Amino acid sequence: MQILINTDNHINASDAFNEKVAELLRERFRRFDDRITRIEVHFNDENSSAKSYGNDKRCVLEVRMNGMNPLAVTANTSEVMSSLRSAIDKMRSQIDSTLGRLEEAR
């Protein structure tokens, strides 16, 4: 599973941050390991670092699986890692739903 992490210039993407994000993604999507080829994460601060209030940290999570169109979700919270966790939960639900529909169609 390939993991790509993208951030805007208002989010500090240190090596430690990138490793923490990749570790969380590998852990939370482990049961889909045989199906997922790539995960892309896009973080941005919608208000810039000068104005940190509200749910201004956005995480867009895109998952590509074998033989399927990409799936994408978006989550906005007040903290970067919180937005990632929220996006992961949404994506896991979307994958379960998509794979369930495929099983029913068989």
Q: How many CA atoms lie within 13 A of 10 on its CB side?
A: 16
Q: Which residue has the tokens 């209030």?
A: 53
* Domain residue spans of the chain: 2-105
CB of 62 within 8 A of CB of 80? no
Domain 2-105, second-level architecture: 2-Layer Sandwich (3.30)
Taking the C-alpha atoms of residue 59 and residue 57, their distance in angstroms, rounded to an integer, is 7
What is the tens place of the pLDDT at every residue in 41-86? 999 998 765 555 677 899 999 999 999 999 999 999 999 999 999 9
Taking the C-alpha atoms of residue 75 and residue 81, their distance in angstroms, rounded to an integer, is 11
What type of residue is 41? V
pTM beyond 0.85: the answer is yes
Phi, psi of 24 (to 5 degrees): -65, -40
Q: What is the pLDDT of residue 44?
A: 93
The neighbouring-strand residues paired with 41 are: 5, 61
- Whether the pLDDT of residue 7 is over 60: the answer is yes
